[in-house]
Amino acid sequence: MPFNIIQRLQFKRLQNKKHFTHRSIAWQDTKSFILFISPHNTEEATAITRFIDKIKKHTIRVKVLEFLKSKKDISLLPYMYECTRIDSSHTNLIGIPKISAVDAFIDQHFDVSIDLTDKDNVAAQYLCCAIDITMRVGIHDSNWDCYELVVPNVYNNINEENLFSIIHYLQKIKP
């Protein structure tokens, strides 16, 4: 059985447990962010760091999850407060995160999540669906249909201007 069929079954099981309702949240009511990131080079890491700093000025709590390809990969981001790094040792054979790797924050509520990872990052997409989040933002179309807002073409060129456009879109939302 191919992995993508097994992954779809895992997502379907998750969706049967939770009822996804598409909701929105006003920018001024946003108190917590969770960011899923996987920068490929230092320029992207710098842009993401500035983006995180801008969000930290606005909100009370920002949680960052960095997805690394393997245990040997090093993080391109500077040390940040409340950053969790997830690599292949934290996922099972089909790419779903192990409970032991995410139990510290899986039961927490977040107002907004922003997924800045690759389109094929199953661990990030699974966590985006599994965590209690009011508004989910993705930068790519996904087969899992868990995002309320999808910002196209940001991932092809992650820079500060593209990332700040996400904040611009979020500020325009009225609940």
CB 124 within 8 A of CB 38: yes
- What average pLDDT does the segment 91-97 reach? 80
Question: What is the pLDDT at residue 161?
Answer: 83
Q: Is the pLDDT of residue 18 over 60?
A: no
Which pLDDT score is estimated for 120? 78
CA dihedral 71, 74, 77, 78 (to 10 degrees): 110
- In the chain, the number of structural domains is 1
What is the C-alpha separation between 169 and 114, in angstroms, rounded?
Answer: 12
Query: pLDDT tier at 22 (50, 70, 90 boundaries)?
Result: low
- pLDDT tens digits along 101-133: 777 777 888 888 888 888 778 888 888 888 888
Domain that holds residue 67: 3-171
Nearest alpha carbon to residue 33 among 175, 174, 163: 163
pLDDT, one tens digit per residue, over 67-77 is: 888 777 777 77
| Single pTM value for the model | 0.79
Two structure tokens written together for 43: 């320029």
Report whether pLDDT(20) > 60.
no
For residue 42, is pLDDT > 80?
A: yes
pLDDT at 10: 66
With tokens 């922003």, the residue in question is 114
Of 137, 118, 128, nearest to 30 by C-alpha is 137
pLDDT tens digits, 27-41: 677 888 888 888 888
CB 36 within 8 A of CB 129: no
Q: Which residues in 80-147 belong to E strands, given as ranges? A: 83-86, 109-116, 132-138
Q: Which residues contact residue 129 at a Cβ distance below 8 angstroms, ignoring those fewer than 6 apart?
A: 11, 14, 15, 18, 20, 144, 146
Mean pLDDT for 55-70 is 84
* CATH number of the domain where residue 88 is located: 3.40.50.2000
Helices and strands, counts by H and E, the chain: 5, 6
